[in-house]
Amino acid sequence: MGCGVSKNSEFNKRYDKVKNLRHVLLKAMKAAVLIQRWYRQYAARMEMRRRYTWNIFQSMEYADLQDQMKLYNFLGYLMDNFTPSSSERNLISHIFRENEVCRDAEWERYFSYINIDVPDIYSGPRLTFPLDMDQVADLVEAFKNKQQLHSRYVLQLLLETWKLLRGLPNINRVSTCHSKEITICGDLHGQLEDLLLIFYKNGMPSMEKPYVFNGDFVDRGKDSIEILLILFAFLLVYPGDVYLNRGNHEDHIINLRYGFTKEVLGKYKLHGKRILKLLQKIFSWLPLVTVIDHRVLIVHGGISDTTDLALIARVDRHKYVSALKPPRKKTPSRSSLYADSERFDEMNICKNRRGSMTFPRPLGTRESFQRRSLQDFSRTVARTVEEEFEVRRRQAEFSMSSFSNSQRILGSAPSTESEPDSSEIIDTGSDDWKQILDLLWSDPMSQDGCVPNEVRGGGCYWGPDITEHFLNRHNLQLIIRSHECKQDGYEFCHNRKVLTLFSASNYYEIGSNRGAFVRLGPDLVPYFVQYQATTLTRGLSFRQSLKRTEHTALKVLREQLFVHKSDLLSAFKELDKENTGLICLSDWANAIERVLQLDLPWRVLQPQLVSSTTDGMLDYHGWFRDLALKRPSSECIEQSMLETLYKHRSTLETIFRIVDTDNSGLISFEDFRQTLKLLSAYLKMEISEEVINELVISTDTNNDGSIDIDEFMEAFQLVDKIRLERGKSLLKFKQEYQNLPLEEETSPSADSTGPQISQCSALHTEDSPGSHTEDCSSSKTQDLCDISVVVPPQ
């Protein structure tokens, strides 16, 4: 009876249900598509930020290398312009002090560890020689637990290493017989975490597991000495299975600038200097290249069109102590300066120096210094600098770049191991010298040919044709080199004949890049493993860690903008013909591109660098105010002076640290003054006593006549106003519109949520790995790393 009706309504009900379901499904689908689309856009924006952040870091590395040149040039100027009678001589000769001990026999005594007592409370490893594997494993474990090896054992280990290295050839020869796979690692730069990660993933070196380490073990990272000790320990235990190549950072003058010297002196206050001295010798005895199966060349930097392995096999590699100090050959010369310096230094042999290098002198000499006006200085400098430029221009062999000219000047500092003859000139033109520089400093380029590497100041840029020619000539099939940071840890070029391998992950900043190592078996097919040490980013999302990286990159970029302030201002003024104080954003971008000469996407970066515009026009004076130094100018100290000091702050800091002989972090007022005067003379910039006094007073909070180096340098930070403003307005936006408590943005080191002036530096110290102590036991390496394995197609 109601059958048909109920059947109908049943049907209708079911039909409705299905229609409903379909409707629901469609809605779900629509939502899914929307979310997917938005996610993909979000991911693309992240990717863009990641890419330009990487570009910024690469550009900054370039700019930083320019800074390095400034240091070299300054040091060269110092050596060239001061006669023994000037009172700065002490300061300068200290900078180049080489003369504590000069005979080999005395080295044994100097480096002796026998009298160093190890106190009972020392809980670190106590090494006995000859070392065995158990001890080395203990050593690694100890370093994992942040222990420090006692200086007695350090010296002992280094002495053994020195002995061993002296017996090694310039070219390591390795074979993959017995089906051994060889593991090759690139730059480590003091990043112990990465080395531990490699060992965790790949196993430690042993007879079954040979390793090649391709240089740059030290500098920048904070555990350089620990890395060295581990590598040397393995070398001692497995001398036939561990191979070390020298990198350009295995060089004591480079170490002064990039942190290794500071690290050692900080960790080993009593014996640090001896350790460094011994390391100087060890570095010079490190082999230069490694060849696997006569087929694969492993070298730190690269090659040039003149690289010849036969020549390299024959050089006296230990003569090349530093890239800045080419060895000398005997010829009649500019004798007076050197003869004097030689005599002068002889007088200072074994003199015990403490504290200020400018020890009290009779009044007469002080006065004579002051009487010599800066104009005199300037004239002398101007002449010399110009002459220098002329010489450079006239150089036929272009590879004698400004770098090697500085060396020429610097080479006048007596080297302890060279011939005692005092009248020598520098032999920068020699084949040997150039061969070694090329091996350690060169970079590949995509164009054919070979040109001097003016960015680094040493070595060459070499092209695919050079690679081809070189490989054919020496019957090789692949060059593995390091020296350049690569985002994925490794990169092929030159038609897969050149491989760049970089093993320091997060090199520029956390999240900036991965590290990689490679394994080669008898088939010589490379097998890569990439990784990224992530202890510090655990708990941070990808977005958060990108934010941090980006923040650092932008900070560094802003510093560069500040350094070029005066040039930028002129460029802006040129475009602002009517002097309105405003320019359009397009002009802004063009001007910056022209002045900075950095290949960066300025228009894309603009929102990050410019806080506000009106109608698309930027008030550039206001913008510069936002890029100010923390230390404000005063009546004595003009903005331009501060800016110049800022430009050369790394040089200044390096000199301060050299002068700080007892590594107290303080230098005397007199040394401070002398350094500033020297720098200002070199820069042809007048710096009066009032200015120096004012600089001193404003930093000398101790009022005891000493200056805290860190405090002084601290003032050369830029105020991060733009980010401050942005942080504040973002906070406001979030609180109003979204009505949410801040989630991830409140993580301690990420965003700015308050008007802290020293915000930048606070962020910076938090970022530095040393401050994270709770994650010390890297036995949690499992969740430490993000590892992927790649086998490239042949």
Query: What are the catalytic residues?
Result: 249
Segment interacting with another protein (CB under 8 A) among 25-33, 176-184, 480-488, 516-524: 25-33
Interacting span for another protein (CB under 8 A) from 32-40, 165-173, 373-381, 496-504: 32-40
Token pair belonging to 418: 């060279």
Spatial strand order of the sheet with 289-292 comes to 171-174, 289-292, 296-299, 478-481, 498-501, 490-493
37 part of the interface to another protein, by CB under 8 A: yes
Q: Does 789 bind another protein (CB under 8 A)?
A: no
Three-class DSSP category at 26: helix
Name the phi and psi angles at 764, rounded to 5: -65, -45
Q: Which of positions 729-748 make contact with another protein (CB under 8 A)?
A: 738, 740, 743-744
Task: Provide the strand spans (E) within 506-632.
Answer: 515-520, 526-531, 582-584, 617-619
Closer residue to another protein in complex, CB, 44/339: 44
52 contributes a contact to another protein by CB under 8 A: yes
Between the two ends of the chain, the Cα-to-Cα distance in Å is 79
Q: For residue 591, state whether it binds another protein (rule: CB under 8 A).
A: no
Look at the alpha carbons of 14, 19, 22, 28 in this order and tell me if their dihedral is positive or negative: negative
Q: Give the DSSP letter of residue 577.
A: T
Burial class of residue 79 (count of CB atoms within 10 Å of its CB; 0-12, 13-18, 19+): buried
Q: Does 780 sit near another protein (CB under 8 A)?
A: no
Give residues 522-561 in contact with another protein (rule: CB under 8 A).
541-543
> Of the listed pieces 37-45, 124-132, 329-337, 470-478, which binds another protein according to CB under 8 A?
37-45
Any contact of residue 30 with another protein (CB under 8 A)?
Answer: yes
Nearer to another protein, 7 or 30 (CB): 30
Residues 54-73 that bind another protein (CB under 8 A): 55
Per CB under 8 A, the list member of 228, 589, 592, 652 interacting with another protein is: 589
Residue 736 C-beta: closest distance to another protein, Å: 13
Question: Interface with another protein includes 47 (CB under 8 A)?
Answer: yes
Separation of alpha carbons 139 and 136, rounded Å: 5
| 3-state SS string for 121-171 | CCCCCCCCCCCCHHHHHHHHHHHHCCCCCCHHHHHHHHHHHHHHHHCCCCE
Q: Which is nearer to another protein, 706 or 749 (CB)?
A: 749
Query: With b meaning 16 or more CB within 10 Å and e meaning fewer, what string describes 703-729?
Result: eeebbbbeebeebbbbbbbbbbebbee
| Identified binder of another protein from the candidate list 13, 20, 32, 430, rule CB under 8 A | 32
CB of 53 to another protein, least distance (A): 10
Does 34 bind another protein (CB under 8 A)? Our answer is yes
CA–CA separation, 556 and 55 (whole Å): 12
Give residues 594-633 in contact with another protein (rule: CB under 8 A): 601-604
Q: Is residue 133 a contact partner of residue 105, using CB atoms and an 8 Å limit?
A: no
Least distance (Å) between residue 464 CB and another protein: 10
162 is a site residue for another protein (CB under 8 A): no
41 part of the interface to another protein, by CB under 8 A: yes
Binding another protein (rule: CB under 8 A), the pick from 6, 9, 20, 36 is 36
Sole binder of another protein in the list 42, 110, 359, 398 (CB under 8 A): 42
Contact by Cβ (8 Å): 297, 226: no
With CB under 8 A as the rule, give the number of residues binding another protein.
Answer: 41
- 239 vs 607 by CB, closer to another protein: 607
Q: What SS3 state is found at 77?
A: helix
**Whose Cβ is closer to another protein: residue 142's or residue 585's?**
585
Q: How far apart are CA 653 and CA 127, in angstroms?
A: 36
Query: Cβ closer to another protein: 45 or 621?
Result: 45
Instruction: Name which of 166, 165, 138 is nearest 153 in CA terms.
Output: 138
Residue 33 found at the interface with another protein (CB under 8 A): yes
Query: The dihedral of CA 252, 253, 257, 258: what is its sign?
Result: negative
Among the listed ranges 306-314, 315-323, 556-564, 583-591, the one in contact with another protein (CB under 8 A) is 583-591
Q: What is the DSSP string of 341-354?
A: HHHHHHHTTT----
Show contacts with another protein in window 427-446 (CB under 8 A). Answer: 446
- Give me the least distance between CB of 616 and another protein, in Å please: 8
Which lies closer to another protein via its Cβ, residue 215 or residue 444? Answer: 444
SS (H, E, C) 223-260: CHHHHHHHHHHHHHHCCCCEEECCCCCCCHHHHHHHCH
Measured CA to CA in angstroms, residue 351 lies from 280, 328, 414, 528 at distances of: 21, 26, 16, 53
Q: Which window, 50-58, 179-187, 383-391, 425-433, contacts another protein (CB under 8 A)?
A: 50-58
Query: Shortest CA distance to 194 belongs to which of 161, 158, 163, 230?
Result: 230
**788 near another protein, judged by CB under 8 A:** no
Q: Which residues in this chain contact another protein in the complex, by CB under 8 A?
A: 24, 27-45, 47-48, 51-52, 55, 446, 493, 541-543, 585-586, 589, 601-604, 738, 740, 743-744
